[in-house]
Homo-oligomer: A and B are copies of this chain.
Amino acid sequence: MTDTPYLRVDVARLERNIEATADRARSAGVQLRPHAKTHKCAQIADRQLDAGAVGLTVATIGEAEAFVDHLPPGSADLFIAYPLWVTPAKGARLRALAARTSRLCLGVDSVDAVQCLADELTDTPVTLAVEVDSGQHRTGVLAEQAGVIASTATEFGLDVVGVFTFPGHGYGPDDAPIHAAEDEMEALSIASDKLRQSGIEPVVRSGGSTPTVEFSGSEVLTEIRPGVYPFNDAQQVELGTCDFDDVALVAVATVVHRTGTRVVVDAGSKILGADRPTWVTGFGRLLDAPTARITSLSEHHAVIDFPTASPDIPALGTEVHVVPNHVCTAVNLVDELHAVTPDGTTEQWPVMARGANS
């Protein structure tokens, strides 16, 4: 018995999810480069690469360093899918990384950032991909501007290999994923044309998120970067991207309080994360009680309301399985995942890149 709360992984479901997305990418004729920010975990990266992933996506230099330390020397094929602002200190870290990877690609989305990259990384074996805003309005340039960024980088002697986007506005109800996938394809298509007009072949045309990946096709994309799919989470269930049966990670929690149809468990925001988009129905879900809703969350309390006269209301002391809203932020709160393998044994999988924010 492990003291609650802790994060438990169902390895059979995890492996099934990894295979299913690998199969989907193969069928669609696109390469799969999973986003490792979700799991930050060697054992899961290994399974993704064994299933055919061409490499990994990461969000930070620190995550890249963790995976390079883990993978066989010189083998890591990494894409830092972020518009890095490269200071001299970060430049030194990137040069060290480049020397230890088979391929290191970096994101860029401004002429000023190109200048920093040129100052730090000329003659370093890195490639660049221009980030395009396909509708999330976070980072990335308008598709029409991609050629300017790419040609400026080329003039500075940097090696531009393509374009990428994150269709994050697909995280929404109804047809949001379909529309975001359409926006993604259009933005990458325009941006690719702009690169070609600047004499740069966009060999890499990278997109995809877990909810949009089924609508993204190989007519534009060469590569997809979903992150959440090995685990899934309550957001994905509510988006309809997966069923509860596909959820491979839960917080195991204990009921510490019950008043009528309300129970409180000992997993709060410090293990579930506090993500709560407006379109979800609560702060997470219960794996085995689909009618329950987590109506409020504190650091060490989740308040769960059940329908009146529900037969599922757990007694004090019961262990329940809470599905986090956003698994990427939940995993980043723990040092280890308790991985239950198909033969019933439990392994401790370190979250080796936990907290690698810079």
CA distance A96 to B255 in the complex (A): 24
Assuming A85-B316, A357-B271, is B300 touching A264 (CB within 8 A)?
Answer: no
Q: Please report which residues of chain A, range 241-265, place their CB below 8 angstroms from some CB of chain B when the two chains form the complex.
A: 254-258, 262, 264
Once the chains bind, are A296 and B138 in contact (CB under 8 Å)?
Answer: yes
Once the chains bind, are B85 and A255 in contact (CB under 8 Å)?
Answer: yes
Assuming A90-B3, A257-B110, is B168 touching A298 (CB within 8 A)?
Answer: yes
Check if A116 is an interface residue, CB within 8 A of chain B.
Answer: yes
Looking at A70-78, A149-157, A199-207, A325-333, the stretch in contact with chain B turns out to be A325-333
Check if A134 is an interface residue, CB within 8 A of chain B.
Answer: no
**By the criterion of a CB under 8 Å from any partner CB, how many residues of chain A are at the interface?**
62
Assuming A5-B357, A90-B3, A270-B329, is B82 touching A300 (CB within 8 A)?
Answer: yes
Q: Please report which residues of chain A, range 56-110, place their CB below 8 angstroms from some CB of chain B when the two chains form the complex.
A: 59-61, 82-85, 87, 89-90, 93, 109-110
CA distance A296 to B258 in the complex (A): 35
CA distance A133 to B255 in the complex (A): 17
Q: How far is the CB of A328 from chain B (nearest CB, A)?
A: 6
Looking at A178-186, A189-197, A213-221, A273-281, the stretch in contact with chain B turns out to be A273-281
Assuming A274-B276, A332-B333, A334-B355, is B89 touching A316 (CB within 8 A)?
Answer: no
CA distance A70 to B344 in the complex (A): 38
One digit per residue, 1 when the CB lies within 8 angstroms of any chain B CB and 0 when it does not, for chain A 276-314 equals 100000000000000000001011110100000000000
Once the chains bind, are B355 and A299 in contact (CB under 8 Å)?
Answer: no
Residues of B within 8 A of A27 (CB): none
Q: How far is the CB of A102 from chain B (nearest CB, A)?
A: 24
Once the chains bind, are A83 and B333 in contact (CB under 8 Å)?
Answer: no
Chain A interface (Cβ < 8 Å from any Cβ of B):
1-6, 37, 59-61, 82-85, 87, 89-90, 93, 109-110, 112-113, 116, 137-140, 168, 254-258, 262, 264, 266-267, 269-271, 273-276, 296, 298-301, 303, 316-317, 326, 328-329, 332-335, 355, 357-358
Given A85-B255, A274-B274, A276-B276, 12 other A-B residues pairs in contact with their CB atoms under 8 A: A5-B358, A59-B299, A85-B256, A109-B257, A110-B257, A112-B317, A138-B298, A269-B273, A269-B329, A270-B332, A271-B357, A334-B355
